[in-house]
Amino acid sequence: MTDDRRLTPRSEDFAAWYNEVVLRAELADYSPVRGSMVIRPWGYGIWENMQRALDDLFKETGHENAYFPLLIPMSFIEKEKEHVEGFKPELAVVTHAGGKDLEEPLVIRPTSETIIYSMYSKWVQSYRDLPLLLNQWANVMRWELRTRLFLRTSEFLWQEGHTAHATAEEAEEETRRMLGVYRTFMEEWIAMPPLTGLKSESEKFAGAVRSYSCEALMQDNRALQAGTSHFLGQNFAKQFDLTFQSEAGEEEYAWNTSWGVSTRLVGGMVLTHGDDDGVVVPPRLAPAQVVVVPIARGEDGGAVREKAESLRLQLKDAGVRVRVDARDHLSPGAKFYEWERKGVPIRLEVGPKDLAKEQVVLVNRVELEGEKRKQFLPEDEAVKSLPGRLDRLQAHLLARAVQRREENTRRGAASIDELADHFEDGAGFVYTGWSGDPGVEEEVKERTKATIRCIPDPDFRSSTPPERCVGGEKAEMEVVWARAY
């Protein structure tokens, strides 16, 4: 009999660990429909914090929110040739409604470029109407054959930004700006440091001219595409007649961008920070940053509960998200395990012994082992130090993730054999030269299952550019390979 209160350790079966931790931390649950999931309050609370932070960043960069409908005429999707090719296999289509067959099938949006740019064409007449910078928070549906909680489900929540500009340069700048916003958000909130760069032709978004992405390395050394930003050129503008009159009086097609991140980020957070005890939620995302567990024993019970409540109020005033776990039917130990599984950053314990000494017990989620795991602190010091402790924990998680990424990154491989060796050795990201030949990309994929995650941005490039492609030809660029989610 195994102890089913424990999670399967990551080292034993990483995929099993992930499923268990998501279910048992009550982030999400399976729904009756295959491949779709219910996001539970703890998971949704994390998503809400992500939304709030991202939404602020979008507003700061000049965007407004709007909402476009769920149902899109099939003919819209079919207008852009590459777009329809990319999405056709995963479309869910409404053919029947109100007791009758529909004249034209309606697609449940897999993404909203078509409906949005068709509306933009109505709203934009002059260069004075540009740029048009909108975002929407929505659900989308892509019929997936193989699904995983948060990482790939048929329905998921995301935001999609869609902008229209007068010039290609301005649109390109917007594409890059939003990629940067994503990078900042991932580093500073999720403490998940991504690699950013340009997608290869074979990996880019269907319908885009160029796609950029954020690629984060998970604990099992697989890469997660965590956010994308696309320069759409005039592809959609031409199909939906999105034109404007320029300053010079000429009619021109607008230039578009689109960019998105999804609830997949919650999965990325789990895969980046989680451990064998459960999820670890970075303080800036935690629905509860501190949980106070009163050990309300015997005659002191009332006084202990009052102390817990007083701690809650003090911390709330200090700007900390805090809750008291006053449930009476669970032992303190059971509560400790539960909140550790859910990943609350800091726990405070207060019991009869602490009352007399005016102290509290503080436990940090990432320091559960060893002598120092429980710190005994004077109450006022604990309260005063908490915001700083949360900040340091946030910084620690990022530093730890950066270090893990660097330790699992290899630079240079003269041949596909060497590249394969790196992956045999358990590498995460591998940097090599590339000629730009899709044949080489295909060959590497067959040999190693790794794909080009991106052509890295300057921040991430090797100090000396590679001279040779892994295929043997002259290298035209540096690329990063990884096995991807």
* Residue 240 in the binding site for RNA (CB under 7 A): no
* Residue 363 in the binding site for RNA (CB under 7 A): yes
Instruction: Indicate the SS3 state at residue 142.
Output: coil
Calpha distance 142→36 (Å, rounded):
11
Among 222, 234, 318, 337, binds RNA (CB under 7 A): 337
464: which 2 tokens? 């000396």
Under rule CB under 7 A, which residues in 77-106 are in contact with RNA?
A: 86, 89-90
* Residue 332 in the binding site for RNA (CB under 7 A): yes
Among 11, 99, 146, 459, binds RNA (CB under 7 A): 146
- Where does residue 342 rank: exposed (0-12), middle (13-18), buried (19+ CB within 10 A)? buried
* Residue 350 in the binding site for RNA (CB under 7 A): yes
Calpha distance 397→268 (Å, rounded):
13
By CB under 7 A, the count of residues binding RNA is: 67
CB of 447 to RNA, least distance (A): 11
Span from 180-188, 307-315, 348-356, 411-419 in contact with RNA (CB under 7 A)? 348-356
* Residue 441 in the binding site for RNA (CB under 7 A): no
* Residue 185 in the binding site for RNA (CB under 7 A): no
Question: Based on CB atoms, which residue is closest to RNA, 40 or 411?
Answer: 40
Calpha distance 24→315 (Å, rounded):
28
Span from 141-149, 232-240, 315-323, 379-387 in contact with RNA (CB under 7 A)? 141-149
Which helix (H) or strand (E) segment holds residue 419: the answer is: helix 416-424
DSSP 13: -
* Residue 200 in the binding site for RNA (CB under 7 A): no
| Helical axes 264-273 vs 379-407, angle rounded to 10° | 90
* Residue 197 in the binding site for RNA (CB under 7 A): no
Question: Based on CB atoms, which residue is closest to RNA, 6 or 316?
Answer: 6
**Contact, 117 vs 230, CB < 8 A?**
no
Question: Based on CB atoms, which residue is closest to RNA, 53 or 484?
Answer: 484
Calpha distance 230→44 (Å, rounded):
27
Question: Based on CB atoms, which residue is closest to RNA, 80 or 340?
Answer: 340
241: which 2 tokens? 């007649």
User: Per-residue string for binding with RNA, 207-236, x by CB under 7 A?
Assistant: ------x-----------x-xx--------
* Residue 35 in the binding site for RNA (CB under 7 A): yes
127: which 2 tokens? 């260069």
The verdict on whether omega for the bond into residue 131 sits within 30 degrees of 0, i.e. cis, is yes
DSSP 259-313: EEEETHHHHHHHHHH-BTTB----GGG-S-SEEEEE---GGGHHHHHHHHHHHHH
CB of 279 to RNA, least distance (A): 13
DSSP 224-250: EEEEEEEEEETHHHHHHT-EEE-TTS-
Q: Residue 297: which residues within 8 A CB-CB, separation 6 or more?
A: 304, 351, 352
Under rule CB under 7 A, which residues in 446-485 are in contact with RNA?
A: 449, 484
- Nearest residue to 151 via CA among 15, 32, 283, 259: 15
* Residue 38 in the binding site for RNA (CB under 7 A): no
Span from 26-34, 385-393, 457-465, 471-479 in contact with RNA (CB under 7 A)? 26-34
Span from 125-133, 296-304, 313-321, 466-474 in contact with RNA (CB under 7 A)? 296-304
Radius of gyration of the chain (CA): 25
**Contact, 261 vs 226, CB < 8 A?**
yes
CB of 76 to RNA, least distance (A): 19
CB of 83 to RNA, least distance (A): 12
Under rule CB under 7 A, which residues in 367-396 are in contact with RNA?
A: 368, 373-374
Among 329, 370, 459, 467, binds RNA (CB under 7 A): 329
CB of 462 to RNA, least distance (A): 25
CB of 329 to RNA, least distance (A): 6
* Residue 40 in the binding site for RNA (CB under 7 A): no
294: which 2 tokens? 């009163």
| In the block, residue with structure tokens 């030269």 | 433
* Residue 15 in the binding site for RNA (CB under 7 A): yes
* Residue 238 in the binding site for RNA (CB under 7 A): no
Question: Based on CB atoms, which residue is closest to RNA, 330 or 399?
Answer: 330
Q: Residue 114: which residues within 8 A CB-CB, separation 6 or more?
A: 72, 76, 77, 79, 80, 83, 236, 239, 240
Provide the binding-site residues for RNA, judged by CB under 7 A. 4-6, 15, 19, 30, 32-35, 86, 89-90, 142, 144-149, 151-153, 156, 158, 203, 205, 213, 225, 227-228, 260-264, 295-298, 301, 328-334, 336-338, 340-341, 349-355, 361, 363, 368, 373-374, 449, 484
